[in-house]
Amino acid sequence: MKRTTITLIALLAGLGMANADTVAPADITFTDDGALAQSLTGVAGDPVEGAKVISSKSLGNCIACHEISDLADVPFHGEVGPILDGAGDRWSEAELRGIVANAKMTFYESMMPSFYKTDGFIRLGKAYTGKAYEGEVEPLLSAQQVEDVVAYLMTLK
């Protein structure tokens, strides 16, 4: 009995903020400039979690392409995209949400991957296995992870 309860709590926590307010990738609407005004979850983003997502190779891996001085203790920042220092000054929260969810709505044909998108891929694979995808397509980041990343970017002033 006890075991079931724990499992259930763990499961709910694991689902994160997949609550009634979560907007699915297929249901989001960008402004003409590529911004996303509405929160994807209705739950405020956590900048500490956001920094983890940005640094981690298995999550956002943003620093593969971007340098961020604030994360200088994480080794190897790339130089494919612009340095993100000051991103919170240059962009509004809505604009940053749009860039992280699908940068191609802001920057035409951007090289930056779309982190909250589930369709339109060519030869979608099963993560990094090289095999074909099976089952339902998960976006690269969850709705809450996007919010966390945006919250962190907003601290870069």
CA distance 8 to 121: 34
Q: Using CB under 8 A, list all residues that contact other proteins.
A: 57, 61, 63-65, 75-80, 111, 113-114, 121-133, 140
93-102 and 143-154 are packed helices; what angle lies between their axes, rounded to 10 degrees?
130
Supply the DSSP symbol for 126. S
Q: Does 115 bind ligand HEC (CB under 6 A)?
A: yes
Cα within 13 Å of Cα(53), Cβ side: 23
- Give me the amino acid identity at 65: C
Find which of other proteins, ligand HEC, none residue 51 binds, CB within 5 to 8 Å per kind. none
Build a one-symbol-per-residue string for 65-104: x at contacts with ligand HEC by CB under 6 A, - elsewhere: xx-------------xxx-x--x--x-----x--xx--x-
Enter the tokens of residue 28. Answer: 């989001």
Binders of ligand HEC among 1-40, rule CB under 6 A? Answer: none
CB nearer other proteins, residue 86 or residue 125: 125
- Tell me the CA distances in angstroms from 51 to 21, 64, 91, 156, one per residue in order: 24, 14, 18, 11
- Binding stretches for ligand HEC (CB under 6 A): 54, 60-62, 64-66, 80-82, 84, 87, 90, 96, 99-100, 103, 107, 110-113, 115, 149, 153
